[in-house]
Amino acid sequence: MRIPLTLTPLGEKVAEEIEVDRWVEHLVPKTQHEVEGMEPHEVREFCRKFVRDHAVGGTLRRRLLGAAFDNGLREDEVRDVIAIRLRDHFLAQQETSDA
């Protein structure tokens, strides 16, 4: 499956700085049921809304704000990095369960 929107090298750098994969790997098992049966574009929108509305707090939020400052980005741009990585994990889980 080809994913239309991927992280740039800067996005990858930010993802590493904020350790987003640790957060995503913890979150996906708890929320996978919410995206079951969704089309990829629906998963993308779910992730954007999830990250925008309530997903980022505590240590991740501090890292998010620090990465935004350090890399000259807006907070919403760093949230997009988180949403893309979350989407990628959900879609990978769907491919695994479909196989």
Query: What is the per-residue pLDDT across 2-26, written as a single tens digit (0 to 9) for each?
Result: 556 899 999 999 999 999 999 999 8
The domain tally of the chain equals 1
Establish if 3 belongs to a structural domain. Answer: no
Residue 61, token pair as written in the block:
């939020």
- Hunting for tokens 């999830």 — which residue is that? 50
Dump pLDDT digits (tens) for 71-80: 999 999 999 9
Residue 1's pLDDT band (boundaries 50, 70, 90)?
A: very low
pTM for the model stands at: 0.88
Instruction: Report how far residue 96's alpha carbon sits from residue 74's, in angstroms, rounded to the nearest whole number.
Output: 34
Range of the domain at 44: 15-29+37-98
Q: At what angle do helices 20-31 and 75-98 cross, to 10 degrees?
A: 50
Establish if 63 belongs to a structural domain. Answer: yes
Instruction: Report how far residue 54's alpha carbon sits from residue 34's, in angstroms, rounded to the nearest whole number.
Output: 15
Establish if 4 belongs to a structural domain. Answer: no
Dump pLDDT digits (tens) for 29-71: 889 999 999 999 999 999 999 998 866 778 888 999 999 999 9
